């Protein structure tokens, strides 16, 4: 069995919120137009866990999603360079974890959320994922 990988995806709540995601029950993660983020989507495997981060408005990690289908052609474009994965909501955090809290946590100072603020899909180490969950429990 493969090892679970951990990720963080960003969504502006005005465009696609955690609440809407929970209502939908599943979605394909589209709109990624950055090569590094796209490469991260291609690395995602079924069963991987994904932190859901509200960007711009809120700036909080609000929940955990699961990868339920590995990458395929983005149905919103005919350009073969772009892919999506299917995500399903897994669990809401008891308390949202803010960007300020993450930046203040020494063990999280190297995560892409802090270092590459514009990246929309990023890998996390298991220890970083667990730390954010702990902060949100």
Average pLDDT over residues 22-48: 97
Task: Write down the pTM of the prediction.
Answer: 0.96
Compute the 3-state secondary structure of the chain and give helix, strand, coil in percent, each to the nearest 5: 30, 35, 35
- Report the percentage of the chain scoring pLDDT > 90: 95
- Tens-digit pLDDT profile for residues 85-126: 999 999 999 999 999 999 999 999 999 999 998 999 999 999
The H or E element containing residue 40 is helix 35-43
């Amino acid at each position: 069995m493969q090892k679970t990988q951990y990720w963080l995806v960003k969504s502006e709540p005005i465009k696609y919120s955690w609440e809407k995601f929970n209502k939908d029950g599943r979605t394909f993660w589209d709109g990624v137009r950055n090569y590094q983020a796209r490469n991260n989507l291609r690395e995602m495997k079924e069963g991987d866990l994904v932190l859901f981060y509200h960007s711009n408005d809120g700036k909080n990690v609000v929940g955990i999603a699961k990868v339920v289908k590995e990458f395929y052609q983005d149905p919103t474009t005919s350009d073969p360079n772009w892919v999506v994965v299917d995500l399903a909501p897994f669990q809401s955090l008891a308390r949202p974890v803010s960007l300020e809290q993450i930046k203040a946590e020494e063990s999280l100072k190297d995560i892409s959320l802090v270092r590459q603020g514009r990246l929309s899909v990023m890998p996390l180490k298991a220890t970083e994922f667990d730390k954010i969950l702990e902060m949100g429990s």
